Chain A
Amino acid sequence: MVVYSFYIFDRHGKNPIFIAITQLTVSSGMHLQTPLATAPGLHLRSTDDDSKLVFGTVFSLRNMVRKLGGDDDRALLSFVSFTTSQYKLHYYETPTNTKFVMLTDLKSPSMRIALQQIYINLFVEYVVKNPLSPTEHTGGVGVNNELFEQSLEQFVL
């Protein structure tokens, strides 16, 4: 399985609070914050533009899913992933509107549980509980947190 990129958006969504874009395989190791993607034919360019695009897309999709499916929990949880000919986008959203998005290759199994685990075991433990991390990541203040990055690296590999 190859992970192309990974984003976390907070409830304000304007800027991602965490981005990792890389071509990452078990053998190559993960280099977080490395702006590089080499999936064939897939253009992940400047992180800023892409993340806006990614956010806009998941935001619209999730709203559509909710509108059509009813505004209850099941609808909230029903947008799991979508697939194009080049990549698969996995989505997980918490009731606080924190959104986890991961782009992988097509062979990847469902990453829903993995995203949930990243939220529960890594994000909450290392970012949310860290008093030196800001409570609200407004203005694109990133997560910049070594413990989180290290454990994410271990987790994804």
Chain B
Amino acid sequence: MAAPPRHSTMLSISNGGTPQSGPNDKQTQQQAQTLPQSPGLRVPSNRKTIYDRHLNRSRNAELSRASFAYLFGEMVTYAQRRVTGIQDLEKRLNEQGYPLGLRLLDLLFYRSTSTSSSALSSSSTSSSPPNRPLRIITLLHLIHGPLWRLLFGRSADALEHSVSPDTPNEYMITDNDPLVNTYISVPREMSMLNCAAFVAGIIEGVCDGCGFETKVSAHNQPTEMWPSRTVFLVRFGDSVMEREKVLERSGVK
């Protein structure tokens, strides 16, 4: 079976997209978003729709961590039934995280502009409202800081650049104790598995949404103190690296 287009999952629910027509470029999606009231949808007369709620309503809302664990658990179980191996499972989890990344990116930008400064300060280099990051480092800071705080209530634990001259396109984001793995005890025979592949997918979605072609994978790097320490390996594509050089030369930050 051919891999489904990445954006199609997003369209099937909630953005007013039509899954049948299968549009998978962002252009179509943008249009769908600018037409909030699709004429075909019924709405309750008391107007309880997403358009009548403030987008920041759930900003500081919290829910039970167990509820997340159960949902995530079912996601893993469901994915497990449809795959052949660990790599396949991680790929699927990654695919499920991807659309989340795209959406969170919008949410992050929206919130950072509406609150003028604080949330995105690390990534905004000018006094104007923060824009889409153009450089790799700005993007990675956005992930390491604001994205992690939005999702997990704290920044990631480390951000590093590959020291090898052969792989200048590789960066590492480390989480000492990933929330998604809190309740997961991986059996020995599956020791390679890291369900944080889901989070890797989220990162990939954020990068892609910013126009940075990337592959992100999650790897177990346990230490004595942090048994579920996970490193997210971010590998940028050639086009990104080339653009990075051009931007560097022209002094874009």
Query: Which residues between 108 and 157 of chain A lie within 8 Å of chain B, taking CB atoms?
Result: 125-126, 129-133, 144-148
Contacts of B76 in A (CB 8 A): 131-132
Interface check B178, CB cutoff 8 A: no
Q: How many residues of A contact B (CB 8 A)?
A: 12
CB distance from A143 to the nearest CB of B (A): 10
Which residues of A sit under 8 angstroms from B73, Cβ to Cβ?
129-131
The reply to whether A132 and B186 contact each other, CB–CB distance below 8 Å, is yes
Task: Kindly state whether residue B70 has any CB partner on chain A within 8 Å.
Answer: yes
A residues with a Cβ closer than 8 A to B are: 125-126, 129-133, 144-148
Nearest residue (CB) in A for B228 is A147
Within 8 Å by CB of A148, from B66, B72, B185, B190, lies B185
Expressed in whole angstroms, the minimum distance between the Cβ of B96 and any Cβ of chain A is 13
- The answer to whether B183 and A126 touch across the interface, beta carbons within 8 angstroms, is yes
Report the Cα distance A102→B66, complex, angstroms: 28
Among residues 139 to 176 in chain B, which have CB atoms less than 8 Å away from a CB atom of chain A? none
For A129, the chain B residues whose CB sits under 8 A away are 66, 69-70, 73, 182-183
| Cβ distance B107 to chain A, nearest Cβ, rounded Å | 26
Cβ of B137 within 8 Å of any chain A Cβ, yes or no, is: no
Q: Does B74 contact A (CB under 8 A)?
A: yes
Give A132 to B183 CA distance when docked, in angstroms. 9
Q: Which residue from B66, B184, B188 sits with its C-beta under 8 Å from A131?
A: B184
